[in-house]
Chains A and B, each alone.
Chain A
Amino acid sequence: MQKTAFIILGLVVSVFAGFLFFGSKNQVLAVDGDINHSPQVSDDSGISEDERNQHIIQNCTAIKSKLEQLQQSDHLLRVNRGSLYESFSSKLMSRFNGRLAYNNYDASIFMGITANYDRQVADFRSSFQDYDRNLKKLKQIDCRKKPTEFYSQLLITREARKKLHSLEVGIRNDLVSYRQQTSALMQELKNNNSQILPVINSGINGAEE
């Protein structure tokens, strides 16, 4: 019975040791990757690299805390915006496109905007993953010991966030375009006394001459 217990204990310990080993190895690799990356120091702020490093070292705890809060609020934004963007597409735009097609109205412009919108939302999801990975990497770097690497990673994360922001703006622009198209459609309906002018008579939706 004792032998059995020893075997089980040995297996459990070896699995945990392996898990810890691989876990720590990944962290080391993540930091090593940053060391190899040549530090890009922006001169926009007008302070020298040494001064900046001093700032980073002094404010390390506060910076880490800010990054933690930022990550949490970004995750919240990702959840809220993500579900809203998906709902816009699945519950409103696609359904309105369906209504247009149902009434034999040429919905190609609406469908084009929706397709572009869906593509941007998909890009937004994957870009958020990239951004979050970079932010995670940034949090893992010891800013007291490696301020230069920390700042390099901060610049990379900032770029990833910029990309995310431009996608977000693109998504909102698509929503504006869609809204403008519905206004144009409404005007068209008004001009024709609420009668639609079916563009598709052949029964093939979206067919263009």
Chain B
Amino acid sequence: MKKIQDSEIGQREFFSNIKNEYKFGLLIGMTMVIAMVMIVVAMFLYDQSGAAQIDLSRPGYERVRAEMDTRKIEEYNSTGPLDEASVIDFKQLFDKEYEQIQDVDVFGGGPLSDQIIGVN
């Protein structure tokens, strides 16, 4: 029983000595470890949330970054009378944007076809 107590006391002293001797080093080391863990968690969330897919500021995206559409769509006023003129206003705003996508078929199967990819 006494032996166990002695060894426990010895262990406590040992850790206490380490704590006192390497206090500053431990502080720096733990800070770095915590920072790295946080970075790993942040990168995981960045990838899983889909933010990575819409982040064109990443390296390697210089070419497509310039083609990013930065136009702002004009907002329609939600208050006011409902008459022919107000509907025409809305249709004009709507059509202006709709023309951009009207006949542009995106995410079609072409780019991944055997011929285009080159597996055939």
CB distance B117 to A66 under 8 Å?
A: yes
Q: 1/0 per position for B20-32, CB-CB distance to A under 8 A? A: 0110111011001
CB distance B68 to A76 under 8 Å?
A: yes
Closest CB of chain A to B70's CB: distance in Å? 9
B54 on the A face (CB < 8 A):
yes
> How many cross-chain pairs have Cβ atoms below 8 Å apart between A and B?
184
Cβ < 8 Å to B, chain A residues 69-98: 70, 72-84, 87-88, 91-92, 94-96, 98
Query: How many of chain A's residues have a CB under 8 angstroms from any CB in B?
Result: 74
CB distance B79 to A102 under 8 Å?
A: yes
Residue among A11, A47, A56, A82 with the highest chain B CB neighbour number at 10 A: A11
Interface residue tally of chain B, by bracket? 35 or more
B4 on the A face (CB < 8 A):
no
Closest CB of chain A to B69's CB: distance in Å? 4
Closest CB of chain B to A68's CB: distance in Å? 8
CB distance B76 to A92 under 8 Å?
A: yes
CB distance B97 to A92 under 8 Å?
A: yes
A164's partner among B25, B33, B107, B119 (CB-CB below 8 A) is: B107
Which chain A residues have a beta carbon within 8 Å of chain B's beta carbons?
A: 3-5, 7-8, 11-12, 15, 19, 44-45, 47, 52, 55-56, 59, 62-63, 66-67, 70, 72-84, 87-88, 91-92, 94-96, 98-100, 102-103, 105, 125, 128-129, 131-132, 151, 154, 157-158, 161-162, 164-165, 168, 172, 175, 178-179, 182-183, 185-186, 189-190, 194-196
